Structure 1
Amino acid sequence: MSADDFKPEKWTSSANEALKVSIVGENAVQFSPLFTYPIYGDSEKIYGYKDLVIHLAFDSITFKPYVNVKYSAKLKDDEVVDVQEKLLSFLPQNDVIVRDEAKWVDCFTEERKIHDLPDSFKKVSEYSLNGEEYVIYKTSLIDDFVRKMHRRVQIFSILFIEAANYIDETDSNWEVFWLLNKKSKKLVGFVTTYRYWHYLGGQSFDENIDQKFRAKISQFLIFPPYQDKGHGSCLYDAIVQSWLLNKNITEITVEDPNEAFDDLRDRNDLQRLRKMGFDTILQKNSQLSDKALESSRKSFKLEERQFNRLLEMLLLSNNSPLFELRVKKRLFIKNYDALNQTDPDEAKEALQNSFELVKDDYRRIIESINTSEV
């Protein structure tokens, strides 16, 4: 060995680059994760290996997992982590084929023959996209088949959703929505959702026998090979529509959405409000009372912050003079303490700058909808 071989960087790999994730159908589609810190630490670095490659593959239908770790050299050091064991600890126990690719192919080929969805898969919606038919199902986690499938796919949540954690499959309030290709049965994506009891006040609690819930979207994932094709919007809209029809769901929320999901949510919610006639109501009477607005918010089952954002977007798209007044009032109240301690001219400028940023962001979302509709 040369002196160069003793340099730490020669034995350090990026975990995000070393981990190669594949979904295998007629062809294998390989991609890299966005995050590996839950598995390999905050630095997302792996020390002690040369030419490290960690293969994590899944069958496109059954999602039977396969792991194979390759490297040209490994340090004999107690501090060198066993990358294979680390990865296996996040995969379903006794359900992973390690290194033996032929055995893995045989296993998922046999599974495919009996891979029939049980009655616990309740169809929610269907749609067509690019000449293919897709179907969305809803399940609880009490079914053994569902638990097996969820245990296989849940690692995608921590690899592609920042700050995601594995959910408690013993909690009956969790439900999973599954998106599949209707003909091929290939799994396209999944969403974990949760129901919170919603206390509506003493009188409602005393008089209403039916329990009311807030429904929360927790982990929303379209697998990388199927992203940027419109599946996310179709899946999100199907989930929301099913909750709008459920009289026990009073409000729809989202857990810590990232910017990409915020955009998807805004576009679909805005289009929905237009289709449901709320835009027309605003055009005829933009100065709706607080009581009327609250009644509309509840009928759309939107949380307050999201409803107010959509209301502002609609006012902007309608060129309503109330848009600027409403946004600036909100920004002033939100930043009152800071603005109150600032020179009046500087505070006015800061408020105007914040307003322009909000307006530009809303325009970006509105224009993306208008462009897609052309």
Structure 2
Amino acid sequence: MVQKQPPSADPVVESKKRRRVGFSPADAGVEANECIKIYLASSKEEVGSPEISCLNPVDLNSFFDEEGKIYGYQGLKINVWINSISFCAYADITYQSASNGAKGVTDLKSALQKIFGETLVDSKDEFLQTFSTERDFMRKIVSRGEILQLKAINGSTDRLNNISGVPPSDLEVVRMSIDSSNAGLLYSRLVPLVLLFIDGSSPIDVTDPDWQLYLLIHKKEEKEECLYRLVGFSAVYRFYRYPDRSRMRLSQILVLPTCQQKGYGSFLVEAVNNVAVAENFYDLTVEEPSENFQHIRTCIDINRLIGFDPIKPAIDSAVQTLTQGKISKKAQVPRFIPPPSAIEKVRESLKINKKQFLNCWEILIYLALDPIDKYMEDYTMIIANHVRADVLGKDLETPGKQVVDVTSSYDPESSFVMFKSLGGGGETGSNIQTEKNQTDQEQQLKELVEERIREIKLVAEKVSPR
């Protein structure tokens, strides 16, 4: 028989017993986004200076295991400094204490090398020395590159001169094939910036000769010598198009965070556009453009298209049709898309691909409507028609496709049937799609249309005094 031990009469002894039983506090870890700060410095005096603002990289948590957390440290702070001349990096790591808990201790050096690779130097002194020992890094890198001669498109030089505080004569765009030793070395040092500041991007294949780097260089006279500084770059891929043409795909573009909002990005895009036209590529495409880049790209292309005379008759015709009467009262809403001949002329002369031109076409019509307020209701209906066609594969008043989920033992989450309805809004579609789904769909389409109208107005404000 088990019997309870009588309670101790000595409270001191009892207190000691209680203190022997306990658990270490669980290590919840700290998110990488909370403890890592990234800085860009152009001189050793800037390193550690409180006047240098930290940058805003993409999600740093994605580079760490266990849900983006770092374990085993109390009071952890990691300040990473990047040399904006040579792109070497140094991580200043401090913490109050470290303990090996249930999740272990994160190997910080190994984790940081996943991002910074060989650019990460071991000591602060070594890092500070790179500001002098690699002072001419960029000048040596571009010495074997091709300096591009930038020409204004449609006779206008305004866009090439629109750089805040920097004369265009101080800027050079240098093109280099990625398989050259200099370009390969430079890109290996730029990879951390690609990972940190281009969302969803991954390094390109430096052994593929069809990749080219376009480097935007700022030349600055300092103490009787010309210093070369990289302010931005883009990676462009050249690929074959049957039967005898080549296409350009802009896959990566980045202006250094400390140089943004000054017009450098537009300057670099103009340079790539010039090459596409001068070397008679079939067209220029962009791989998964971000929202901000797409805005810049569209503003540039709108300015090019405004001065492109061959499409003016088509724009005038579309505007005349829109202003003749209430579009909303017509039995079928016109598509208001450019004629194939205009699409082909734009592609052949300006190298703007069809998808981008259709995006610009809506803005060109908006800019041509005067006064815009008088025709805004009908214009919005046209945009709604385009959005619906893009999302659902059908116009407002025309037959389209329907997708219906079905039960399947093979893959319940991805089994469906697609069919084409014979009449828009007919009984077949209304029976299959519930009223609630239709309401949700219409609300989502309405939000997409409103967002598209906002985008159009933002571009219009940039390219027009209206």
TM exceeding 0.5: yes
CA deviations over 1:325-372 (Å, ceiling 9, x no partner): 7544433434243674357x979976676545433331222123336x
Output the amino acid matched with 1:21.
I
CA deviations over 1:227-264 (Å, ceiling 9, x no partner): 122211111122112212112x2111111112111111
- TM-score normalised by the chain length of structure 2: 0.67
Instruction: List alignment gaps of at least 5 residues for structure 1.
Output: 200-204, 206-210
Greater CA drift, 108-117 or 316-325: 316-325
Partners in 2 of 1:352 and 1:53 — Cα distance?
Answer: 46
Partners in 2 of 1:192 and 1:101 — Cα distance?
Answer: 31
Greater CA drift, 158-167 or 72-81: 72-81
1:85 aligned residue: 110
- What are the equivalent positions in structure 2 for 1:1-374 lying under 5 Å apart? 6-9=25-28, 12-26=29-43, 27-28=46-47, 29=52, 30-41=54-65, 43-77=67-101, 79-93=104-118, 95-98=119-122, 100-113=123-136, 115-124=139-148, 129-132=163-166, 133-183=170-220, 184-199=227-242, 205=243, 211-247=244-280, 249-277=281-309, 280-286=312-318, 290-299=339-348, 300-319=350-369, 327-334=383-390, 335=392, 336-337=400-401, 340=425, 341=429, 355-370=449-464
Output the amino acid matched with 2:461.
E
Greater CA drift, 82-91 or 121-130: 121-130
Partners in 1 of 2:235 and 2:61 — Cα distance?
Answer: 21
Larger strand percent: 1
Tell whether the 8 Å contact from 1:279 to 1:314 is kept in structure 2 after alignment.
Answer: no
CA deviations over 1:17-44 (Å, ceiling 9, x no partner): 3222222224354324222244214833
CA deviations over 1:304-338 (Å, ceiling 9, x no partner): 22110101110121128795675444334342436
Deviation at 1:167, TM superposition (A): 1.4
1:202 aligned residue: none
Partners in 2 of 1:49 and 1:278 — Cα distance?
Answer: 66
Deviation at 1:73, TM superposition (A): 1.7
Tell whether the 8 Å contact from 2:238 to 2:246 is kept in structure 1 after alignment.
Answer: yes
CA deviations over 1:266-301 (Å, ceiling 9, x no partner): 111111211333664444443897331232232222
Partners in 2 of 1:326 and 1:309 — Cα distance?
Answer: 13
Output the amino acid matched with 1:362.
I
Output the amino acid matched with 1:140.
S
Find the residue that maps to 2:457 and give its secondary structure.
Answer: helix
Tell whether the 8 Å contact from 1:38 to 1:158 is kept in structure 2 after alignment.
Answer: no
Change (3 A) 1:137 1:215: same
Partners in 2 of 1:297 and 1:358 — Cα distance?
Answer: 23
Q: Report the structure number with the largest CA radius of gyration.
A: 2
Find the residue that maps to 1:186 and give its secondary structure.
Answer: strand
Greater CA drift, 305-314 or 175-184: 175-184
Partners in 2 of 1:91 and 1:193 — Cα distance?
Answer: 23
Change (3 A) 1:87 1:283: same
Partners in 1 of 2:174 and 2:70 — Cα distance?
Answer: 39
Change (3 A) 1:348 1:97: closer
- TM-score normalised by the chain length of structure 1: 0.82
Tell whether the 8 Å contact from 1:65 to 1:152 is kept in structure 2 after alignment.
Answer: no
Q: Aligned-pair RMSD on alpha carbons?
A: 3.2
Find the residue that maps to 1:182 and give its secondary structure.
Answer: strand
Greater CA drift, 360-369 or 271-280: 271-280
Change (3 A) 1:172 1:113: closer
Partners in 1 of 2:306 and 2:197 — Cα distance?
Answer: 32
Find the residue that maps to 2:228 and give its secondary structure.
Answer: coil
Partners in 2 of 1:79 and 1:348 — Cα distance?
Answer: 48
Tell whether the 8 Å contact from 1:282 to 1:288 is kept in structure 2 after alignment.
Answer: no
Partners in 2 of 1:140 and 1:54 — Cα distance?
Answer: 36
Change (3 A) 1:329 1:141: same
Output the amino acid matched with 2:270.
D
Change (3 A) 1:51 1:353: closer
Change (3 A) 1:304 1:6: same
Find the residue that maps to 2:237 and give its secondary structure.
Answer: strand
Partners in 1 of 2:189 and 2:338 — Cα distance?
Answer: 50
Change (3 A) 1:276 1:294: closer
Find the residue that maps to 1:250 and give its secondary structure.
Answer: coil
Instruction: List alignment gaps of at least 5 residues for structure 2.
Output: 1-21, 151-159, 221-226, 319-335, 393-399, 403-423
Query: What is the aligned-residue identity percentage?
Result: 21
